[in-house]
Structure 1
Amino acid sequence: MSTAETDTPARPTASSSSSPSASTSASGPVLAPTRRGRWIERWEPEDPEFWRRTGRRVARRNLVLSVLTEHLGFNVWIVWSVVVVNLRPAGFDFTADQLFWLISAPNLVGAALRVPYTFAVPRFGGRVWTAVSAALLLVPCLLLVVAVRDPETPYWLFLLAAATAGVGGGGTFSSSMANISFFFPERKKGFALGLNAAGGNIGVAVTQLVVPVVISLGGGVHLAYAGLLWMPFVVVAGVCAWFLMDGLAEARADTRSYATALRDGHTWVVAFLYVGTFGSFIGYSFALPLLIRSTFPELEAVPALARLGYLAFVGALVGSVARPLGGWLADRFGGARVTALTFAGMALGAVGVVSGLDSHHFPVFLGSFLWLFVMTGIGNGSTYRMIPAIFGARARRRAVERGTSADEEARAARRRSAAVIGIAGAVGAFGGFLVNQVFRIAHVHLGTVAPAVWVFFGGYLLSVGVIWWCYLRRRLLVTRVPSLAHENV
C-alpha cells in the first residue's frame, strides 16, 4: 500500500531530505517529511474519489485533535467566569466594577490575539501552531495559581492573570477554524466547522460545571485547583497535536489572501454578524454566573445550586450543542436565511430576559437566557457557514465572467475563506468584551442590567436588517458589497 493510502510519513531519502517537496500520487495526498514534521503536499477534497480513499480519514483525524486543543482553550479562557463569583468567599474583597473587568479582560485579549493566531496557520502550518497554542495554555493556568494563593495579592496581578487567559478560546479558536476549513470539501464545511467550534465552545459548559465542584473539594474554596485542573490535559493535547496532526501545504500557500480579505466588503458584513452571534455567546457565558449571583443573591442559600454554579453551565452547553445544528441547517437552507431567523429569535429571548428581571423570576430569567444561548449557537454555525458559501459563489461567478479556471478560482476562494474566518472570528470575539462592558456600565451606574439587554435587542434587529439588505433582497446592492441574493449563501 502506498504512503498516501496508509497515511504515514515516507522514509526520508537523499532527495527528500534536501527538499520539502515530494512526488505526488494519483490516489491521495503525499506526506513530505521535513525537519518540521509531516506535510501534505497535495490535497483535493473536492475530488470524490480522493475524499473517499484518503481525504476523509485524514480530515477526521485532524478535526478530532483540533477539537481537543480548542476545547481546552475554552476551558482555560472561561475559567475566570467561575473564579470571580468565588473570590469573596475565598477572602478577596473586590468591587463589582473590578469583578466585571476580570471577566472582560480575557475577552479583550482573546479577541486581539485572534488576528495573529490566524496568520500563524499560513506561517507555521496547522500542526505546528496547534501544538504551540496548546503549550501556551500553561501560562494562564500558572498565573491563576499564583494570583489566588494569597489574599493580599494586588488586583493588577489578578487582572494580568485573567488577561492571559485570552490565549485560550480567543487565540486557539481562530487558528483552529482557519486550519480545519482547508481539510473539508465545500459540501461538508458547514457541519465540520460547526463541529470544530462546538467542541471548543462546549469547553465553556464543562468548566462552569466541573470547576465549581473541584474548587470546593475538601471543604472551603480552593481557587488554585481551577488552574491546576487543566495543566495535565494541556500537556497531552500539545504532544498529540505535534505527533499526530498534519500540515497542509495549501494552507501555507500565501498570506496575500488575508490582505485581500481585509479590503472585501463581505468580510466586514460577516464580521459584524459574528459580533452578534459569537459575541453574545461568549459574552453571556462570561457574565451569566456573575449576573445570577448579583441579581438573585437569595440563591446563595441553596448550597446545591451554588455548587453547580447556579446552573449557568447549561446555557453554554445548549449553545455549544446547537452550533453544529446551525451549520447543518445552513448547508440545507442557506446560511443567510438561518442566521436572519436566529437573530429574530435572539431578539425574542432578550425580551424574555427583561421580563424575568422585572418580575424577579429566576426560572423566566434563566429560561430566556437558555433560549438566547440556543439561538447564538445556531447563529454561530450558520454565520461561519456563510463564509465559504459567499466566496465560493463569487469564485464561480468570476470563473464564468472572466473565463478563468474554475479550479484555480475555487482554490483562491478556499484561501480567502480561511482568512475571513480568522478575521471574522477576531472581530466577533470583541463582541464578548462589548457585552461584558455594557453589562458592567448598566449594573454599576444604573443598578440594573435591563437597559443593557435592550441595547442587545436593538443590535439583533439591526442584524436582521443587514442580512436582508446584503443577502436576501432581490436587487443589486452598492458596488462595495455586490449582491449575492440569488446565491444560496
Structure 2
Amino acid sequence: MGDNGDPREEYGITGNPRRGLAMATLSFFAGLTTIAFYGVAGPTFQEALGISGALLGLLLSSPHISKVILRVPFGAWVDDIGARTPILILLAMTIVGIAGLVGTLVLFYPDDFGSHLYVPLLVFGILAGAGSATFSVGIAQTSYWFPEDRQGFAMGAFAGAGNIGPGVFNSLIPVLIGIGGLAIAYSAWLVFMIVVTVLYFAYGANPYYFQLLDRGLDAEKAKGVAEEMGQEVFPAGDTWDSLRESSMNHWTWVLVFLYTVSYGGGFTALTTWYPTYWNLFHDMSLTMAGLFAGVFVVYGSLIRIPGGSLSDRFGGEDVAAVSFAVMVAGAGIATFATGITASFVGMMVLGTGMGIANAAVFELVPKYVPDAVGGASGWIGGIGGAGTLLVLPLLGVFVDVFGEIGYARGFSVIAGLSAACVAVSVALKFVGPDASGAADESAMH
C-alpha cells in the first residue's frame, strides 16, 4: 500500500456506505415513478387516442413490462461490474421514453393526436418503465455496501424511501396537468429524471470491491483490500454465474414466493386496486379515493425502514412470520368490512404487514443466497414484481362473481396467500441455513 497505508488514496477509492445508500435510493425513487407513467392521465389518453378499454389497459401496463423483463438480468449484472453502469443505463432508457412522449405531445397533441400514435406511445411506456428495474440493481448494490448486521436497516431504508416515488407523482402530475397541460407535466417529469441521472453520474459509486477490480486488481486481492475497508458481502461470479447459481439455490424461490405475496401480489396490486375500491365500493370521489390510496402507499413504504431494523434485531424469519400474520389480520378485516372506518383500519393493518414483510424478505437474501446476491435480487424483484398480474385479475373475478360486495370479499385472496407465507416463514426457522448449521454443529459434538 501507499506510505500512509490508506487504500482510498492508493487506489483512488470514492464513496462510502451512507452515500452508496443515498444514491441508490434516489435512483430507485426516480425510476419507480414510471410505473405510474400513463396511469395518472389514463382517461385523458383514452379519450385523445380513441382507444378501447383493453388497449388502454395495455398502455397503462407498458411500464410494468420492462420492469418484469429487466429486473432479473440487470440485478444479476451487478455481481459482474457493480451497480453504477446498470443504473445509468436504466435511467438513460427512461429518459429516452419520457422524451419520446414529450416530443409526441408537443408535435401532435391535441389536434393530431389519434390511434395512429398508439404503437409509439406503447414503446415509450416500455422504455420509461426501465427505471423501475433500478430496484433489483439498487438492492444488490446496497447489500454489498453494508455489513451483514446492518442489511435489514439498509434494505428497509432503500426500499422504504424509494417506493414513495409513484405515490408522490400520482399526486403531483395531475396538478401539473391542470396548470399547464400534458406536455408541461411530462416535461417536468423529464427534467426531474435528467437531474437525478446527472446527480447519480456525479456521486454514485460502486462498493469498494468493484472499484478495486476497475483499478486492475485481481478478484482475490480486491476482496482482501475491500475487507480491510469494511466490506463483508461479495459476489461469487459474473452475471450469468450469479443468475445460474441463484436459480439453482432453492432458497431463492422460497424468497421469491414470500416477496410475490408481500409486494407484487400484495403492496403493488393494492396500490393499483385501492383507488377503484374506495371509489366504487365506498362511493368516494376520485380525489378522496386517490388520497386514501396515497396514504396506503406512503405509509406502507416508510414502515419498511423500521421493518428493516427490526429484521436486523430479531431475525428476518421471525419478523417475516409476524408481519405475514399481520397481513392475514388486515386482509380478514378488509374482507368483511363494509364501513369506511373498518375498511380504513384493515387497509392500514395490511400496509403495516406488507411494508415490514418486504423489508424482512430482503434482509434474508445475503443469508440464504450469499454467493449470488445480485442474481437472487433480480429473480425476487422481477418475478415477485409480476405478482400484480396474477392477483389483480383474481380481485376482479370476485367482483364479477359476487357483485359490489366482491370488492371486499376479494381480500380473502390476500388473506389465504399471507397465511401460506406465515407457514413458510415459520418453517424457515427449522430448515433454513442457520437451522442446518446448528444441526451440523450438534452432530459434531
* Same fold flag (TM > 0.5): yes
Q: Structure 1, residues 426-469: CA drift from partner, whole Å, max 9, x if none?
A: 22111123233333444567654445422222111111111222
3-state SS of paired residue (1:315):
helix
C-alpha distance 123-216 of structure 1, shift in aligned 2 (>3 A): same
Selected match of 1:274 from 259, 274, 288 = 259
For 2:70, the equivalent position in structure 1 comes to 113
For 2:248, the equivalent position in structure 1 comes to 263
* Deviation (angstroms), 1:26: 4.1
Q: Structure 1, residues 76-97: CA drift from partner, whole Å, max 9, x if none?
A: 2233342336556x65665555
Contact (CA 8 Å) 1:72, 1:230: kept in 2 or not? Answer: no
* Deviation (angstroms), 1:296: 4.4
Q: Structure 1, residues 325-355: CA drift from partner, whole Å, max 9, x if none?
A: 1111111111111111111111222222223
For 2:216, the equivalent position in structure 1 comes to none
Is 1:202 the equivalent of 2:164?
A: yes
Contact (CA 8 Å) 1:284, 1:435: kept in 2 or not? Answer: no
Selected match of 2:336 from 339, 355, 358 = 355
Contact (CA 8 Å) 2:79, 2:372: kept in 1 or not? Answer: no
For 1:66, the equivalent position in structure 2 comes to 24
Selected match of 1:427 from 358, 376, 383 = 383
Q: What is the rounded CA distance, in whole Å, between the counterparts of 1:70 and 1:158 in structure 2?
A: 23
Selected match of 1:168 from 128, 131, 135 = 131
Q: Structure 1, residues 148-195: CA drift from partner, whole Å, max 9, x if none?
A: 9345235555544443343122x1111111112111111111111211
For 1:329, the equivalent position in structure 2 comes to 310
C-alpha distance 31-64 of structure 1, shift in aligned 2 (>3 A): farther
C-alpha distance 417-125 of structure 1, shift in aligned 2 (>3 A): closer
For 1:4, the equivalent position in structure 2 comes to none
Is 1:390 the equivalent of 2:379?
A: no
Q: What is the rounded CA distance, in whole Å, between the counterparts of 1:367 and 1:440 in structure 2?
A: 22
Q: What is the rounded CA distance, in whole Å, between the counterparts of 1:226 and 1:166 in structure 2?
A: 17
Q: What is the rounded CA distance, in whole Å, between the counterparts of 1:366 and 1:93 in structure 2?
A: 36
* Deviation (angstroms), 1:224: 3.8
C-alpha distance 484-183 of structure 1, shift in aligned 2 (>3 A): same
Selected match of 2:320 from 327, 339, 350 = 339
Q: What is the rounded CA distance, in whole Å, between the counterparts of 1:24 and 1:452 in structure 2?
A: 67
Q: What is the rounded CA distance, in whole Å, between the counterparts of 1:158 and 1:370 in structure 2?
A: 36
3-state SS of paired residue (1:129):
helix
C-alpha distance 276-289 of structure 1, shift in aligned 2 (>3 A): same
1:147-158 to 2 correspondences below 5 Å: 149-150=109-110, 152-153=114-115, 156-158=119-121
Is 1:135 the equivalent of 2:86?
A: no
Question: How many correspondences in the alignment?
Answer: 403
Amino acid at match of 1:281: F
Contact (CA 8 Å) 2:136, 2:381: kept in 1 or not? Answer: yes
Q: Structure 1, residues 13-66: CA drift from partner, whole Å, max 9, x if none?
A: xxxxxxxxx979744446746xxxxx67xxxxxxxxxxxxxxxx6111122111
For 2:422, the equivalent position in structure 1 comes to 464
Q: What is the rounded CA distance, in whole Å, between the counterparts of 2:278 and 2:310 in structure 1?
A: 32
Q: What is the rounded CA distance, in whole Å, between the counterparts of 2:398 and 2:182 in structure 1?
A: 28
Contact (CA 8 Å) 2:51, 2:115: kept in 1 or not? Answer: no
Q: What is the rounded CA distance, in whole Å, between the counterparts of 2:129 and 2:98 in structure 1?
A: 11
Q: TM-score, normalised by structure 2?
A: 0.80
Q: What is the rounded CA distance, in whole Å, between the counterparts of 1:58 and 1:160 in structure 2?
A: 37
Larger RCO of the pair (alpha carbons < 8 Å, separation 6+): 2
Q: What is the rounded CA distance, in whole Å, between the counterparts of 1:29 and 1:484 in structure 2?
A: 39
1:383-422 to 2 correspondences below 5 Å: 383-391=361-369, 413=370, 415-422=371-378
Contact (CA 8 Å) 2:307, 2:355: kept in 1 or not? Answer: yes
C-alpha distance 98-486 of structure 1, shift in aligned 2 (>3 A): farther
C-alpha distance 389-438 of structure 1, shift in aligned 2 (>3 A): same
Q: What is the rounded CA distance, in whole Å, between the counterparts of 2:54 and 2:283 in structure 1?
A: 17
Q: In percent, how many aligned pairs have the same letter?
A: 26
- Cα RMSD, aligned residues only: 3.1
For 1:395, the equivalent position in structure 2 comes to none
Selected match of 2:356 from 372, 378, 403 = 378
Contact (CA 8 Å) 2:326, 2:352: kept in 1 or not? Answer: no
Contact (CA 8 Å) 1:82, 1:211: kept in 2 or not? Answer: yes
Q: What is the rounded CA distance, in whole Å, between the counterparts of 1:26 and 1:269 in structure 2?
A: 44
Instruction: State which drifts further: 327-336 or 120-129.
Output: 120-129
* Deviation (angstroms), 1:305: 3.2
Amino acid at match of 1:317: V
Amino acid at match of 2:411: V
Contact (CA 8 Å) 2:79, 2:375: kept in 1 or not? Answer: no
Q: What is the rounded CA distance, in whole Å, between the counterparts of 1:190 and 1:317 in structure 2?
A: 19
For 1:3, the equivalent position in structure 2 comes to none
C-alpha distance 282-65 of structure 1, shift in aligned 2 (>3 A): same
Q: What is the rounded CA distance, in whole Å, between the counterparts of 2:114 and 2:380 in structure 1?
A: 40
Is 1:239 the equivalent of 2:201?
A: no
C-alpha distance 274-432 of structure 1, shift in aligned 2 (>3 A): same
Structure 2 unmatched runs, 5+:
214-218, 220-236, 439-445
Contact (CA 8 Å) 2:20, 2:207: kept in 1 or not? Answer: no
C-alpha distance 103-453 of structure 1, shift in aligned 2 (>3 A): farther
Contact (CA 8 Å) 1:327, 1:378: kept in 2 or not? Answer: yes
Structure 1 unmatched runs, 5+:
1-21, 34-38, 41-56, 392-412
Amino acid at match of 1:311: F
Contact (CA 8 Å) 2:156, 2:305: kept in 1 or not? Answer: yes
3-state SS of paired residue (2:130):
helix
Amino acid at match of 1:173: F
Q: What is the rounded CA distance, in whole Å, between the counterparts of 1:115 and 1:383 in structure 2?
A: 17
C-alpha distance 160-440 of structure 1, shift in aligned 2 (>3 A): farther
Contact (CA 8 Å) 2:78, 2:86: kept in 1 or not? Answer: yes
Q: What is the rounded CA distance, in whole Å, between the counterparts of 1:340 and 1:110 in structure 2?
A: 28
3-state SS of paired residue (1:137):
helix
Q: What is the rounded CA distance, in whole Å, between the counterparts of 1:180 and 1:287 in structure 2?
A: 30
* Deviation (angstroms), 1:362: 3.7
C-alpha distance 274-381 of structure 1, shift in aligned 2 (>3 A): same
Q: What is the rounded CA distance, in whole Å, between the counterparts of 1:213 and 1:369 in structure 2?
A: 26
Q: What is the rounded CA distance, in whole Å, between the counterparts of 2:357 and 2:160 in structure 1?
A: 12
